[in-house]
Structure 1
């Protein structure tokens, strides 16, 4: 079975579906040429990554809390994300060595599809060299960042248990990001070395972890205020997608966090029915494959000279092929390795409760 269900938190899978689709829309230029409004909505696609990061913080807190120890928790997290990442990185490098660059950053930053690039990616340390960090797929910089916080966030979960501590962690990371960005520009001439590092996105993982803590504290409490907050988060999300202004990513990330706390089948049944519809659960279940596979599909279309002249039509075709490919990679790679990770974690003393 491809669709993954988690009961009252099925809506999170729907949010993953939206985040993945946002990223594909941006990279295909699906709406960019339709109108000025379409261009604004299209450009918001990059903030799908912020949605993923907030959800990842929630997931780290949940899976670590459910596990009986750090080691079984980490086994499951690594088996969840690393195998498919390695396969897609190898596919991207093979494509680049064949003369088809999947990522424009390969050329722009003068990287090469060589052994060094491969080792940096497979070691999950590619963020240490911005020239290769995003050079293979054009989206892969986020994966080593997630792995970094999978490893480190459990150590600092105490900072995600109160709002004041979360603000403190976010403040420290913001200052550190600013200082490192200044130094990066001064010595390297670019802030990319920080933008694609764990430091710059770390605040979303703390925010996501706090949403798990707060959701547990609230339990099944239902009130008009909670319902208003949930629908207000949807309004914030729609506003940030529809209008271009400074801080759009922050609004989308915070809206996602509010939904993780407030959304439930008892508080906002209409909203959760939409987010937990079968098609949303299907897309959300394979969203990780969609995220990593769609740049390869786009490169395949470009190398084959397939271009209808309509960004939206191209998006529909690329999205359809990506869904097909992602279903295959989920069945062949993700599901077996997820099960292997759960089995190993169980042997090591962890509880099998996949997220």
Structure 2
């Protein structure tokens, strides 16, 4: 491979980490403010940061779809094997999550945790039981039982992993069905269609368009497609309308507004992917470092921020402490499990288990268009 190609691939990897950094820092900032005693109008200003979650969802769709669409563009074969896909996802997501669960489970036994959680129960549960703790390990804990309120997105992400093979196949073989589903989700949300008593259904309807649009973003990146001006314009309008509404109603969590953030996040990802200037701006060493550690930061920061503010640490400094704990978790845990020395044998072992249990086979796509230039797959 030429040096020029290597440099091109590195830039793409860097800008994905930069996007992750923006997403996680927005979420941390939001939690630093929303769990503070600052006025509601300040919380309204910070509310937009919470939608780093939608940006994460778009990035997830992009990163999952990218290697398969790249294979499809090159050879007409998606090269998708369910056992390999689910093994990689399990090894990537579960070890750091389970370590954090154990740490939080032990911390929840302390008086400090219970006192901080009683003050801010929306950030962490003050009442942990053995059944609710066990439910965390299969993403089945109810919202009020969560050791870390941010864990709600992990359940959504797990459901997305199950839906992803169908979404990818629909994008390749049945594009109209793909777009019909993407359009039906916001329509269902606007009509408030949901399964009574099953709140995850509505949450998934809100989140699914962001994941699906991430697949589109991956395809556009491979095709070197320029971001249309109308898309960027609509993305800006969607973000402004949603931000203004949330500023005026900081005490109301209206899930319908999240649909606008899904589209705004997609437009932003497409813009960044096709703008060398913006890519360069968010690909600094500091941004890349935060992006690499973003999963660990996301996993651990909210209870840390809540406890820090309970101890009268100012919200900005509490956010810094939360990020610092995230870097520590990445250094001590996640970095180890993502190293090739540990990751590869774990993936191989889990893949063999899945293959023997289900006999999964590879999924192939329809004939592909002309091959696109090689681009490194984001992780």
The TM tier, using the shorter chain, reads 0.7 to 0.9
Matched position secondary structure for 1:53: helix
Report how far residue 291 of structure 1 moved: 0.2
Which runs of 4 or more aligned residues in structure 1 lie more than 6 Å from their structure 2 counterparts after TM superposition?
30-37, 108-111, 345-350
Q: CA RMSD in A?
A: 3.9
Which residue number in structure 2 is paired with residue 95 of structure 1? 107
1:25 aligns to 2:29 (yes or no):
yes
Deviation at 1:270, TM superposition (A): 1.0
Q: Say if 1:93 and 1:136, in contact at 8 Å, map to a contact too.
A: yes
Distance 1:103 1:233, change over 3 A: farther
Among 284, 288, 293, the alignment partner of 1:281 is 288
Unaligned runs of 5+ in 1: 185-190
SS in 2 for 1:125: coil
Cα distance between partner residues in 1 of 2:201 and 2:377: 35
Shift of 1:87: 1.4
TM-score, length of structure 2 as denominator length: 0.71
SS in 1 for 2:151: coil
More moved, 206-215 vs 236-245: 236-245
- Return the match for 2:16 from 9, 12, 15: 12
Deviation at 1:57, TM superposition (A): 1.5
Equivalent pair of 1:230/1:259 in contact (CA under 8 Å): no
1:178-217 aligned within 5 A: 178-180=192-194, 183-184=196-197, 192=199, 194-195=201-202, 198-216=204-222
Measured against aligned partners, the alpha-carbon deviations of 1:315-334 in whole angstroms (never above 9, x if no partner) come to: 33443444344443332444
- Structure 2 distance, partners of 1:68, 1:284, is 27
Does residue 119 (structure 1) correspond to residue 134 (structure 2)? The answer is yes
Distance 1:138 1:35, change over 3 A: closer
Aligned to 2:152: 141
- The aligned counterpart of 1:261 is 270
Task: Report the Cα distance in structure 2 between the residues aligned to 1:17 and 1:328, rounded to whole angstroms.
Answer: 20
Aligned-pair CA distance for 1:165:
3.1
2:281 alignment partner, SS class: helix
Q: Which residue of 2 aligns with 1:168?
A: 180
Over 3 Å counting, the alpha-carbon distance change for 1:299 and 1:40 in structure 2 is: closer
Q: Aligned-pair distance for 1:137?
A: 0.7
Q: Counterpart of 1:73?
A: 85
**TM-aligned CA deviation for residue 79 of structure 1:** 0.9
Deviation at 1:146, TM superposition (A): 0.8
1:25 Cα deviation after fit:
0.6
Which 10-residue stretch deviates more, 10-19 or 168-177? 168-177
| Whole-Å separation in 2 of the counterparts to 1:237 and 1:64 | 30
1:39 match: 43
After superposition, the C-alpha distances for 1:63-95 in whole angstroms (9 at most, x for unaligned) are 455554121111111111111111112222222
Structure 2 distance, partners of 1:64, 1:93, is 38
Would the alpha carbon gap of residues 228 and 354 (structure 1) be closer, same or farther in structure 2, given more than 3 Å must change? closer
- CA 1:338–1:29 in 2, change beyond 3 Å: closer, same or farther? farther
Deviations, residues 274-319 of structure 1 (Å, cap 9, x unaligned): 121111111011100000110242244256x2x24x4324333443
Please give the secondary structure, in 1, of the residue aligned with 2:139: coil
Q: 1:30 to 1:105 in 2, by over 3 A?
A: closer
Question: Are residues 321 and 289 of structure 1, via their aligned partners in 2, closer, same or farther at CA, if it must alter by over 3 Å?
Answer: closer
Task: For 1:274 and 1:171, locate their aligned partners in 2 and report how far apart those are by CA, in whole Å.
Answer: 33
- Contact kept in structure 1, 2:58 and 2:266, CA below 8 Å: yes
In the TM superposition, residue 179 of structure 1 has moved relative to its aligned partner by 2.6
TM-score by length of 1: 0.75
- C-alpha spacing 1:176/1:344, structure 2 compared with 1 (3 Å): farther
Q: Following the alignment from structure 2 to structure 1, what is the Cα–Cα distance between the partners of residues 350 and 224?
A: 30
Measured in 2, the distance between the counterparts of 1:173 and 1:18 equals: 26
Match in the other structure for 1:187: none
Equivalent position to 1:58, from 38, 58, 62: 62
Aligned length: 328
